[in-house]
Structure 1
Amino acid sequence: MVVPGESFCRAQLPRVSRTFALNIPLLPAPLDLAVTVAYLLCRIADTLEDEAPGALQGGLLEELAGLVALEPGWEARTRSFSRRACLALRSGAPVAEAELVAGTPTVLETLASLPPWVHPHIARCVRTMTGGMNHIQQVNGGGGGVRGLPDLQALSLYCYYVAGVVGEMLTGLFVASSPWVVPREARLVPRAVAFGRALQLTNILKDVREDLDRGSCWLPRDRMAAHGLEPATLVLPGHRAQAVALMDELVAVARGELDVALEYSLALPTEEPGLRLFCLYPLFFAVLTLNAVEGNPAVFDPAPVKIGRDAVRSLMLLTQERVSSDAALRALHAECSRVPHGMEALT
């Protein structure tokens, strides 16, 4: 039976995330819909952070966290929130993300229809994420347009707020939904944050030029300074060698997080192949993405650096074939890590 709002949520997912549109359908029901809704709510928060300059001052992020708690009267408050959030978006905000913000009442309606064990994990995630976004903006002057974070520790904290907490949420949902996962909880919990942080740091490195064009930079200022750089000089041709050296240093940090993310994925039971594939797809995509970023000055060009579609399809098939073998997955991870950015698999 299709729950209220489910069709909207499932249709909206591929419009705002190609990666998660590939791996969420691998999860068993109702976990697949729960994670879809959770992702969309996090994406609404992310859109407000990136595309609504007044989201912090207007309290929109804090209000979103309150709505996700589904306290009495949330329906009417959500409609008001959605109208004000849409008005706060920049005129150039991506159409799909603007439509998602407008559809906040439908996403929350779908959340309310899910089993009760889903709600506290998603509510905590959104509350921590929006609180963290507010914190980062406040310590960097507020009003958006963060021009670098102070240091690697601050970058790690930011990655926790916007993605590490998602790893915690997923672990809670996995444990609550599957008796096979329960005995693995002690192995999963210590690695959950790194799983989320690894994916976020990879995205930050991949999207460095796009973020700069929007007026933001999430790289650590102390490491930029060590290479004679600041946000304003990152993309200048005369500083390309220093900028590439900086990125290579941060790629090494991301690879360390991905090593922990692999252990997180392998801690999931083989009796739940859908859960394993859900984690392994973005993990391996991230490995290839880092290969494309490392040593590649094109990451500072306007055209984005991407993984080729053929590489994505091949990697998905290889992961499916090896999903039940830890040894085979470790070997695949090692092989992917050696792929240079110049191979035809990448664009």
Structure 2
Amino acid sequence: MTDTQISIENPESLLATSVDEFQAILLEGVSRTFALTIPQLPEGLYSAVANAYLLCRIVDTVEDEVSLSVEQKKHFCSTFIEVVRTGKEAEIFARDLAPLLSVQTIPAEHVLIQLTPRVIAITHSFAPEQIDALLGCVETMAKGMPVYQGMDLHGGLATMQDMNEYCYYVAGCVGEMLAKLFCHYSPEINQHREQLLELSVSFGQGLQMTNILKDIWDDAQRGVCWLPQDIFTETGFDLKELSTSTDSPEFQLGLEHLISIAQGHLKDALTYTQMLPSHETGMRNFCLWALGMAVLTLNKIKQHLDFKDSNEVKITRKSVKQTILTTRVIGRSNFLLSLLFDLKSKNLVCKDWQYQANN
């Protein structure tokens, strides 16, 4: 049994660890991907970004908890905003929420909720500008995500704009927060603040759209669809008819359109990353690893438009390792990064989409 497993089984034992160790163990439990990428960040950013992710995960835990009613979710979300804002009553929040979590919530998230007071104490150890960035993200997520609770999402969202708004609430605002933290960390980066903030929303949307496309069938089994009907109206498919038995060229064409949109957002993500100083290799790696894995995932979806399970389009560990190695080798060169992105994403663009959209 590893130290991490021992700590997860004995939450109080984590209280004696250092801030970085405490957050690293929690991250490993709730997200191996971020447990891999966040440590790439420089020392002045690591703790704040790790804490930010844990705060977001607390909101996600509330939103995903099947035992909570819509009103309970709204209550805990609004309460958590005030906990983050003031740094007070985190113990009450944890005490009230923890017993309500079901077995469908993973053990590591149970622990995270129980240890909310220490997470919040760490939040309020940061500089005021950092706290403001974290609070802004939590407030946007915690106010925006409950809007979708109780909605009938069996037939998807109505429009692409609705999908954009959803992606902003769950990912775009996270991108904004990271951009603000990056700008606070580096005066050199702060010179490009406005453009980075704009691109960061697109970065977040590209990653979230990739996840939505990958998880179509997992979501469908829960009676949920995050795809926009207007895109599929153009191709002649009604999302209300979506099921794991769907084998429709019209549906697959709609997927191609969304893949093309996601590719455009990931291209913005590359531009964002290229604006970070080349000597900030840790920050670039943090961005490039996520970007690279998203491009590879979209390629798998494009190659297997008839997939019926997310495992069919999940990239391999070998691909993850290759992404890490490649970005470490060429990550400082904007020219090589552009060349590689164009090579890996050229098949993601739906060339006939504009024609069909206008005819």
Q: TM-score with structure 1 length normalisation?
A: 0.87
Counterpart in the other structure of 2:146: 134
Kindly indicate whether residue 108 of structure 2 is the aligned counterpart of residue 108 of structure 1: no
Counterpart in the other structure of 2:286: 278
Q: How far apart, in 1, do the equivalents of 2:290 and 2:310 lie?
A: 24
Q: How far apart, in 2, do the equivalents of 1:108 and 1:231 lie?
A: 42
Q: How far apart, in 2, do the equivalents of 1:255 and 1:320 lie?
A: 22
> Conserved in 2, the CA contact under 8 Å of 1:202 and 1:254?
yes
Paired residue type of 1:35: V
Kindly indicate whether residue 107 of structure 2 is the aligned counterpart of residue 95 of structure 1: yes
Q: How far apart, in 1, do the equivalents of 2:306 and 2:114 lie?
A: 35
> Conserved in 2, the CA contact under 8 Å of 1:48 and 1:55?
no
2:68 is aligned, of 51, 54, 74, to: 54
Counterpart in the other structure of 1:246: 254
Q: What is the correspondence of 1:1-347 to structure 2 with a 5 Å cutoff?
A: 5-54=19-68, 56-58=70-72, 59-71=75-87, 74=88, 77-137=89-149, 140=151, 148-225=156-233, 226-231=235-240, 233-237=242-246, 239-297=247-305, 299-301=307-309, 303=311, 305-337=313-345
> Conserved in 2, the CA contact under 8 Å of 1:55 and 1:61?
no
- TM-fit CA distance, 1:298: 5.2
Deviations 1:253-283 (A, max 9, x none): 1011111111111111113221111111101
Q: How far apart, in 1, do the equivalents of 2:78 and 2:306 lie?
A: 38
> Conserved in 1, the CA contact under 8 Å of 2:154 and 2:220?
no
Paired residue type of 2:77: L
Q: How far apart, in 1, do the equivalents of 2:142 and 2:154 lie?
A: 16
- TM-fit CA distance, 1:193: 0.8
Paired residue type of 1:32: Y
Counterpart in the other structure of 2:352: none
Q: TM-score with structure 2 length normalisation?
A: 0.84
Deviations 1:89-117 (A, max 9, x none): 34322232333233222221221223333
Deviates more, 1:154-163 or 1:110-119: 110-119
Q: Secondary structure at the match of 1:99?
A: helix
Paired residue type of 1:118: Q
- TM-fit CA distance, 1:219: 1.1
> Conserved in 2, the CA contact under 8 Å of 1:195 and 1:261?
yes
Q: How far apart, in 2, do the equivalents of 1:258 and 1:42 lie?
A: 22
Paired residue type of 1:21: A
> Conserved in 2, the CA contact under 8 Å of 1:248 and 1:295?
no
Q: Which runs of 5+ in 2 are unaligned?
A: 1-15, 349-359
Q: How far apart, in 1, do the equivalents of 2:328 and 2:252 lie?
A: 34
Q: How far apart, in 2, do the equivalents of 1:43 and 1:298 lie?
A: 32
Deviations 1:210-245 (A, max 9, x none): 2222332211133345543325523214x3444322
Q: CA RMSD in A?
A: 2.4
Q: How far apart, in 2, do the equivalents of 1:146 and 1:100 lie?
A: 31
Q: How far apart, in 2, do the equivalents of 1:13 and 1:146 lie?
A: 32
> Conserved in 1, the CA contact under 8 Å of 2:252 and 2:306?
no
Q: Secondary structure at the match of 1:57?
A: helix
Aligned residues: 330
Q: Secondary structure at the match of 1:92?
A: coil
Distance 1:156 1:42, change over 3 A: same
- TM-fit CA distance, 1:35: 0.4
- Aligned-pair identity in percent equals 36
Paired residue type of 1:91: V
Deviations 1:146-182 (A, max 9, x none): 6521111000000011111111111111111112212
